[in-house]
Structure 1
Amino acid sequence: MARVKYLFLAAALLLFTATTPLALAQAANSTWSQEDTVRIVKDVQKQLASLPNYAVFDWITFGIHGKTVVLHGYASRPTLKDDAGRAVKNIKGVESVDNQIEVLPNSPNDDRIRAAVYNRIYTAPTLRMYNANQGRLGRGLSVARMAGGITADPPIGYHAIHIIVKNGNVTLFGAVNNSSDVAVAGMQANSAPGAFSVDNRLVVAGAPRKEK
């Protein structure tokens, strides 16, 4: 059986690199025309990027297998996984959705780590530009955040660096302008109290994708 190549596209990453030509999924046994593939990839990208509850503590990617859209990534709330599946399913030409998005554990400790990593990253002078709010969580705390529920009330607005926390382990996803910012983000995350480990998967915008 031919190996299926998945194209993983992140909504936030694509928005950040809007001037970069959009790569297309070359999936084995695909029955879409090239024109339909271009349209569907763009539509999926648009639908995922416009999800109102998709925020800095989530990361969603997608692939194409035949006429099926395969969703991957992490959702800090179950509702986001369901919303992503429904949004993509309604796209013309998509016959089915394989929703493999992982819902992260509901953990007060992970919430505390999310807040700590967020503050360490987005208060670093060289990284503030990647946060549309350019602020820290300590300002204007809501009732939900004061109760320790940052997952239920995440910072709004565009964030180039997404912070995924699972059982105390942190993974950074997204795109930044240069390798120096990749390194700074990793160091800042590692300095956050409570984090067991940090996996820095940030990429430099426009850099060639490395094959695994």
Structure 2
Amino acid sequence: MARIVGCRPGATRPGDDDRPVARRPWYVACFWSRVTTAPPALRLRLLVGAAASLLLFGAVRPAIAAQTTDEVLGQRVAGAIRSYARYTIFDEVTVHVEDQHVTLTGRVTVPVKKQEIGERVARIEGIRSLTNDIAVLPASVTDDRLRRAVAAAVYGHPGFRRYAESPHPSIHIIIEHARVTLVGEVDRHGDRILAQSLAHVPGVLSVENRLRVADR
């Protein structure tokens, strides 16, 4: 019976451990050396096994997508967005998942955020398709000033200290053409009303309150 010679990275053929492989991964050379030195019957089994492995590998990703529920997938996407370093209280991204097809909407302050959020989400296992409909807010010195002013008024209030100290502050302040939209979540209805009142700083034309009260 022929001996199946073992391989290690850098081997080109059985027993040759000193010559580097040119344009061929070491594991390909290793497998091929096993095939070429094996008896005919074993050689056939090795080739059939390799073909089956390739078919299985190609089926893994669709299988994962089929097993991932929309709810779980939505949680993964939301987590990836929250952990994105550039995502701030001045951005808002909404996630919609249906049959593993993900749609992103909302508004962010600069174009790179839309691009990088889309790239992060696209890497999540189980997504069948991704539609990135996030809008980019227009550049505005006035809106930038109002963002700082409204954030200071809301998060600087003693009653909102617990929100300010959270790793992911839940009140998001979206400003476009001096018009404020409050989105996110608060603990109590009173906080919702107070946030709207605090957001009316000088220069703000209007405040739309879309804050939700958390279910307790």
Query: Same-fold call, TM > 0.5?
Result: yes
How far apart in 2 are the matches of 1:42 and 1:112? 33
Residue 144 (structure 2) aligns with = 111
Structure 1 contact 63–71 (Cα < 8 Å) conserved: yes
Q: Does 1:43 align with 2:48?
A: no
Residue 197 (structure 1) aligns with = 206
> Where does the alignment leave 5 or more consecutive residues of structure 2 unmatched?
1-64
How far residue 120 of structure 1 moved from its aligned partner, in angstroms, is 1.1
Structure 1 contact 89–95 (Cα < 8 Å) conserved: no
Rg comparison, structure with higher value: 2
What letter is aligned with 1:82?
Q
Structure 1 contact 47–87 (Cα < 8 Å) conserved: yes
Q: Does 1:121 align with 2:131?
A: no
How far residue 35 of structure 1 moved from its aligned partner, in angstroms, is 4.3
How far apart in 1 are the matches of 2:75 and 2:86? 20
Residue 166 (structure 1) aligns with = 176
Structure 1 contact 75–81 (Cα < 8 Å) conserved: yes
SS at match of 1:126: helix
SS at match of 2:97: strand
Regions of 4+ moved over 3 Å: 32-36
**Superposition pairs of residues 45-194 of structure 1, within 5 angstroms:** 45-132=78-165, 157-190=167-200, 192-194=201-203
> Where does the alignment leave 5 or more consecutive residues of structure 1 unmatched?
1-31, 134-156, 208-212
* 1:3-31 C-alpha deviation (Å, 9 max, x unpaired): xxxxxxxxxxxxxxxxxxxxxxxxxxxxx
**Aligned residues between the structures:** 152
* 1:149-176 C-alpha deviation (Å, 9 max, x unpaired): xxxxxxxx53221100011110001111
**Alignment root-mean-square deviation, CA:** 1.8
Structure 1 contact 174–203 (Cα < 8 Å) conserved: yes
* 1:40-60 C-alpha deviation (Å, 9 max, x unpaired): 222212211111100110111
Q: Please, what TM-score do these two structures have when normalized by structure 1?
A: 0.67
Greater relative contact order (CA < 8 Å, ≥ 6 in sequence):
1
What letter is aligned with 2:174?
I
Paired-residue identity, %: 36
How far apart in 2 are the matches of 1:40 and 1:181? 31
What letter is aligned with 1:200?
N
Change (3 A) 1:35 1:180: same
How far apart in 2 are the matches of 1:43 and 1:36? 11
SS at match of 2:199: helix
How far apart in 1 are the matches of 2:178 and 2:67? 43
Structure 2 contact 110–136 (Cα < 8 Å) conserved: yes
Q: Please, what TM-score do these two structures have when normalized by structure 2?
A: 0.66
* 1:163-192 C-alpha deviation (Å, 9 max, x unpaired): 0001111000111110000000000012x0
